[in-house]
A and B are shown apart, each in its own frame.
Chain A
Amino acid sequence: MFRDPPGGCVSAGAGGVGGPAGVMLKVSGLETGYGRVRILRGVDLEVGAGQIVALLGGNGTGKSTLLRAVSGLLPTWEGSIEFDGETIHRLRPDQIVRRGLVQVTQGKDSYPAMTVEENLMLGAHIRAGRREIADDLERIYGFFPRLRERRSQMSGTLSGGEVQMLVIGRGLMARPRLIMLDEPSAALAPKVVLDIFVAINRIRDTGVTVLIVEQNVRMALLLAEYGYIIRDGLILMEGEAKGLLADPNVKSSFLGGSVAGSEDELVH
Chain B
Amino acid sequence: MDFDFSSLLAFIMFGLTIGVVYGIVALGISLIYSGLDIVHFAHGEVYMFGAFFGLVFSSQMGLPYPLALLAAMISIGLLGIVIERVFYRRLTRSGGGYTVAGMGMIICGFGMSVVLQNIAFLIWGADAEPFPVDLGPALEVGDITLPRSYGLTAIIAVVLMAALHLFLKKTRTGLAVRAVAANKDIAFLMGINVPLMISVIFGLACALAAAAGTLIGPMQSVQVEMGYLMLMKAFAAAVVGGFGSLPGAIIGGLLVGIFENLGAAYISPNHKDIYAFLLLILVLMIRPSGLFGVEVRVKA
Chain A residues near B (Cβ < 8 Å) = 71-73, 92-94, 97-98, 102-103, 105, 109, 111, 113-114, 118, 121-123, 125-126, 170, 174
Contacts and interface: CB of A to CB of B under 8 A. Distances in A.
Interface string B179-204: 10011011111111111000000000
Interface residues of B, number: 18
B175 A109 contact: no
B178 A94 contact: no
Given A121-B175, A122-B175, A122-B176, A98 B182 contact: no
Given A111-B179, A111-B182, A122-B176, A73 B188 contact: yes
A96 to B, nearest CB: 8
A105 B188 CA distance: 12
B13 to A, nearest CB: 34
B190 A114 contact: no
B194 to A, nearest CB: 7
Contacts of B271: none
B236 to A, nearest CB: 25
Given A111-B182, A111-B183, A113-B182, A97 B175 contact: no
Contacts of B194: 93-94
Nearest to B197: A94
B172 interface: yes
A97 B189 CA distance: 7
A97 to B, nearest CB: 3
Interface in B189-228: 189-195
Greatest chain A CB density within 10 A among B176, B182, B185 is at B185
Give the secondary structure class of B's interface: helix
B180 to A, nearest CB: 10
Contacts of A121: 172, 175
Nearest to B182: A111
B176 A109 contact: no
Contact of A98 (B179, B185, B186, B191): B191
B179 A93 contact: no
A125 B183 contact: no
A98 B195 CA distance: 16
B172 A125 contact: yes
A93 B188 contact: yes
A93 B188 CA distance: 6
A93 B2 CA distance: 66
A176 to B, nearest CB: 10
B183 A94 contact: no
Given A111-B179, A125-B176, A105 B191 contact: no
Contact of B190 (A72, A73, A113, A125): A125
Nearest to B189: A103
B182 A93 contact: no
B123 to A, nearest CB: 38
B193 A102 contact: no
Interface string B154-193: 0000000000000000001001101100110111111111
B191 A125 contact: yes
B264 to A, nearest CB: 38
A114 B168 CA distance: 12
Contact of A118 (B175, B187, B189, B191): B175
A111 B186 contact: yes
Contacts of A105: 186, 189
Contacts of A73: 185, 188-189
Contact of A97 (B178, B179, B190, B195): B190
A69 to B, nearest CB: 13
B86 to A, nearest CB: 20
A71 B189 contact: yes
A72 B189 CA distance: 9
Contacts of A94: 188, 190-194
A186 to B, nearest CB: 16
Given A92-B193, A121-B175, 8 more contacts: A71-B189, A97-B189, A102-B189, A118-B175, A123-B190, A126-B191, A170-B190, A174-B190
